[in-house]
Amino acid sequence: MGSAKQFSYVGRTDGGRPVSGTLRAETVDAARRSLARDGIVASTLFAVPRPVGSRKDPTFLLTFTSQLALLLRAGISLTAALDMLARQERNRRRRTILGNMLEEIYRGRYLHEVLGDFCPMFDEPFCQMVKAGELAGDLPAVLEALAVDRRRARHARTRMISALIHPILVLAVAVIAIFILCGHVLPHFQAFFQSQPLPSITVGLLAFGQFLHRHGLVLLMLPPLVMVLCIGLGRTAGGRTMLSRLPLLIPVVGPLLLRQYLIPFLRTFSIALRHGIPHNAAFALGYSVVPGTFLRNQLRTIALRSSEGVPLAEILAPFPAAAAGLLAVGEGTGNLAAMAACAADLLEEEVALGLERLAAVLRPLAVIFLALLVGWIAIALFLPISQLTQLQNFG
């Protein structure tokens, strides 16, 4: 969905009338087929280069959506609102983007068409939501819902990073300390300790230090090699599916990731249904924003079976039980949009609670691990030094 490109064409209709314009398609052949269905034979057809700044910018997306919704809700026209946003924007690249948008709106294009020119900054689901708002005459409400959705997603990412950053930093410090002390400092003590019998803990530490000294470079090369392997696998459909499934299999973390991945699906699905998008199209928009090929494929299968008339209660295997129950109730009562929003709220609360518990366990465990590591090295070095000092005193 997000790979569609903008094409410009010049041609004639079946009646011989010259026409020109733009359309969105994934390939040149797809664009020609789309024009043929409209009775247009293109003599010139080419892909339009992406506009300046058409890269992902979550901060700008959230700010733009929130401010545009506020201005439209206040009764300001779309062109005047875009002009105000462009004038107050200090970033040159963003100001250029807003200026280009305003020019296209003045030419008579819809907002969702203009936003589609700036993919992937405005992805396909976002543009389809805006299109639904424009066609329903309720664009401010759609933009407000999208802004709330993006804000919640940002808070969730911040919460997850905050919960995991401390234990990750402690473990990183521990790994660095191991490599420096055991790989470079301990080998210098080898000759110093050879003249006396050593405790088992010291022998083990020195052997570990020799191993790191000899093979440390190989160990340091393992993470980049694994990364290259993952990038290679990510270029194949089967590899992407496997890589996206592995994190979901991690104990404790996997269920949290599953819930976190399902939240944007449920939010998008709910917003789409509330603003008049048909059930199947809303499902497609929902699973298109889900990170990970594995879960996206499962949701696509659910959408296909649901379109065949299979009740949601029978096919919601990937969902946690409580969320699946809410969706089944929503389908049975004809209030699926509200129940999808409630399910997203429920999963968000479960993720927040799970992260708090995980952080409460990981932080002391990381500190204990670092303390044990330092204690092991200190004791292993202190014991032979103490024995050597005693022998010298008795000698």
Q: Which residues of 317-346 are buried (b: 16+ CB within 10 A; e: fewer)?
A: ebbbeebbbbbbbbbeeeebbebbbbbbbb
- Of the two residues 239 and 8, the one the predictor is more confident about is 239
DSSP alpha helix (H) spans, the chain: 28-37, 58-73, 78-88, 92-106, 111-116, 124-136, 139-180, 190-193, 200-234, 237-245, 253-274, 279-288, 293-307, 321-333, 336-394
| pTM of the predicted model as reported, rounded to 2 decimal places | 0.69
**Which residue carries 């110093």 as its tokens?**
192
**Which residue carries 């329903």 as its tokens?**
136
Kindly report, residue by residue over 300-348, the tens digit of the pLDDT: 888 888 878 787 777 776 678 888 888 888 888 888 888 988 988 898 8
State the average pLDDT for the chain. Answer: 81
> Distance of CA 300 to CAs 248, 306, 316, 325, Å?
18, 10, 11, 19
| Least confident window among 123-127, 267-271, 322-326 | 123-127
Token pair for 296: 């996206």
Strands 5-13 and 18-25: antiparallel
Residue 114 has pLDDT above 60, yes or no: yes
- The pLDDT-based confidence of 194 (bands split at 50, 70, 90) is low
Residue 78 has pLDDT above 70, yes or no: yes
Kindly report, residue by residue over 215-254, the tens digit of the pLDDT: 777 877 888 888 888 888 878 878 888 888 888 888 888 8
Distance CA 373, CA 210 (A): 17
Distance CA 283, CA 288 (A): 9
**Consecutive H or E run containing 40:** strand 40-47
> Distance of CA 256 to CAs 38, 156, 308, 345, Å?
47, 12, 31, 14
> Distance of CA 179 to CAs 172, 210, 257, 315, Å?
11, 11, 31, 50
Angle (CA) 380 384 389, round 5°:
140
Distance CA 385, CA 183 (A): 20
Distance CA 166, CA 266 (A): 30
- The pLDDT-based confidence of 193 (bands split at 50, 70, 90) is low
Residue 16 has pLDDT above 70, yes or no: yes
**Consecutive H or E run containing 18:** strand 18-25
Tell me what pLDDT residue 320 has: 83
Tell me what pLDDT residue 2 has: 43
Token pair for 293: 């090929």
Kindly report, residue by residue over 50-64, the tens digit of the pLDDT: 554 556 778 888 889
Nearest CA to 366 out of 172, 188, 216, 182 is that of 172
Greatest mean pLDDT among 41-45, 58-62, 76-80: 76-80
Residue 25 has pLDDT above 70, yes or no: yes
Q: For residue 145, count CB atoms less than 10 angstroms from its CB and return exposed for 0-12, middle for 13-18, buried for 19 or more.
A: buried
DSSP result, 285-353? HHHHT-SSHHHHHHHHHHHHHHHTT--GGGT-TTS-HHHHHHHHHHHHHT-HHHHHHHHHHHHHHHHHH
Distance CA 387, CA 391 (A): 6
Tell me what pLDDT residue 80 has: 92
Query: Would you say 39 and 81 are in contact if contact means Cβ atoms under 8 Å apart?
Result: no
Distance CA 393, CA 387 (A): 10
